[in-house]
Amino acid sequence: MAAAAAALSIIAAVLIWPFAKNPGPVIPAFLPIFATWVTVTEGLTALLLWTQYVVSGRLLFAALSGAYAFTGVIAAIQLLVFPGIFSPTGLLGAGPQTAIWIWVFWHGGFPALVTASLISRSVPSDLTHRGRGRAVVVGAVALAIALCVVATVGQSHLPPIVAKSGSYAQLSSSPAALIVEATCLAALGLHVSTTRLRSLMDLWLGVALLGALIDVTLTLSASARYSVGWYAARGASMMSSSAVLGMLIYETTGLYRRLSETHRRLVETSARDGLTGVFNRAYFDERFAQEFSLASASSQPLCVLLIDVDHFKQYNDTFGHLAGDECLKQVAGALASTLRRQSDFIARYGGEEFVVVLPACESEAGLRVGQSLRGAVEELAIPSASPSGGPVTVSIGLACTFPNQPESAQALLGMADAALYRAKSRGRNRVVDAAEIVDHKTAFRTAAGRERFSH
């Protein structure tokens, strides 16, 4: 992007160069828009660079902040003194030469201050001594004000470079113009040779200096206000003032994006079980309550599966706790890899127990998921310590909000626990739906009632 911006700026300048002296339309509102743009963008850039200095303690950022603050202040003052904007001759006691001399100080001062900032690159970071940075920025602002005072109060002592007609053809051949052009060219060359454009800051600062050089070159070739070259120079100046600001905004946005991602990962890591890598009990308690409330409010089904590793105590006693930990890791991995939807999640409930939550899932689908979970663990073929031999298996209790309609999340979990107990009592390695227990109890009570009625 920086290379494209630089290339387009150079190409545009070359194409406009032959027509620089051609008169353009007189648009009085253009200059206030231009000066406001430069003042705001330079001020924001100075603020963001100062923020980087406060965070890092690098004097370089304070020096660059001072350079942009210098330009922001001097651009605002030039708008006030420019003839025909707020008054025929300009405010603050300005004369016919004031605005153009402020332009000279502006376009010579900014590249000079950027070049001076190269010295501060070798100064180590210091977060304890902020006075140096403040002194640099205050000094740059004071310099801008002092130069503007010279251009207004001391205008009689400055050589005239603008004719009464508004032409500043004299400027092109004056020593001041040569000094400004040489300063811009030297600043760009020193910046590129010193920094080698290694960082984004260096790269876009180089684009800004290139824009300043094009601004000066087109202005001097135009020789009159409201000419084609004059308008193009103002456009180059706006590009120059926005280059580093755009980079800083891009960097800040990326920083916030990375910070948000890091925070998300940190929260997720803190919610993980240290052994198995699935979510921990605290995460489950909070998330399950939220999912239950959401399901109740939206009348959506919700299924929960409570899973227990069969004969795990015997496994630990037979193979040792290290083998038991490895077994839990493999079981957790198999269970987690079986879940297909992003909304489903698994957590370690405690010991050898796991819990799976299936939002927006009906009981039939939940039963199929339960069978897939059970089969995935069995397919691991981990040797077990059960009396009957065979691989490690799991027993699963399933409970869903429909048709059971529990009153709370804890009630739904209690139903899954009862279903898990029934699965273990039936011989383990199976999935039992809590609805079967409810239907069985209902049928038993109905039969008992009929028997009492017949008696």
Lowest mean pLDDT among 49-53, 197-201, 210-214, 223-227: 223-227
Local confidence band at 421 (pLDDT 50, 70, 90 cut-offs): very high
Q: Which amino acid, 51?
A: T
The percent of residues above 90 in pLDDT, for the chain, comes to 68
Local confidence band at 374 (pLDDT 50, 70, 90 cut-offs): very high
Asked if residue 276 has pLDDT above 70, the reply is yes
Domain 281-454 has CATH 3.30.70.3340: no
Whether the model clears a pTM of 0.75, i.e. scores above it, the answer is no
Mean pLDDT of the chain: 89
Q: What is the pLDDT of residue 445?
A: 41
Whole-angstrom distance, CA of residue 300 vs CA of residue 207 = 57
Asked if residue 454 has pLDDT above 80, the reply is no
Starting from the edge strand earliest in sequence, which strands make up the sheet with 431-433, in order? Answer: 345-350, 353-359, 302-309, 394-400, 431-433
As given in the structure block, the two tokens for residue 85 are 């904007």
Local confidence band at 165 (pLDDT 50, 70, 90 cut-offs): low
Among 195, 203, 239, which residue's Cα sits nearest to residue 11? 239
Peptide bond into 160 cis (omega under 30): no
- Taking residues 121-150, report their average pLDDT: 88
CB 305 within 8 A of CB 369: yes
As given in the structure block, the two tokens for residue 420 are 């898990």
State in words which class domain 2-265 has: mainly alpha
What are the pLDDT digits (tens) for 81-123?
A: 888 788 887 788 888 888 889 999 999 999 999 999 999 888 8
Asked if residue 288 has pLDDT above 80, the reply is yes
Asked if residue 334 has pLDDT above 60, the reply is yes
Q: Which residue has the higher pLDDT, 414 or 93?
A: 414
The percent of residues above 70 in pLDDT, for the chain, comes to 94
Whole-angstrom distance, CA of residue 162 vs CA of residue 83 = 12
Whole-angstrom distance, CA of residue 321 vs CA of residue 300 = 41
Lowest mean pLDDT among 7-11, 89-93, 409-413: 89-93
CB 121 within 8 A of CB 205: no
Residue matched to tokens 């070798």: 122
Phi, psi of 308, rounded to the nearest 5 degrees: -130, 135
What are the extents of the domains in the chain? 2-265, 281-454
Lowest mean pLDDT among 7-11, 93-97, 235-239: 93-97
Among 354, 326, 363, 361, which residue's Cα sits nearest to residue 340? 361
Residues counted in the chain: 455
What are the pLDDT digits (tens) for 187-212?
A: 999 999 999 999 999 999 999 999 99
In the 3-class helix/strand/coil scheme, how is 423-455 assigned residue by residue?
HHHCCCCCEEEHHHHHHHHHHHHHHHHHHHHHC
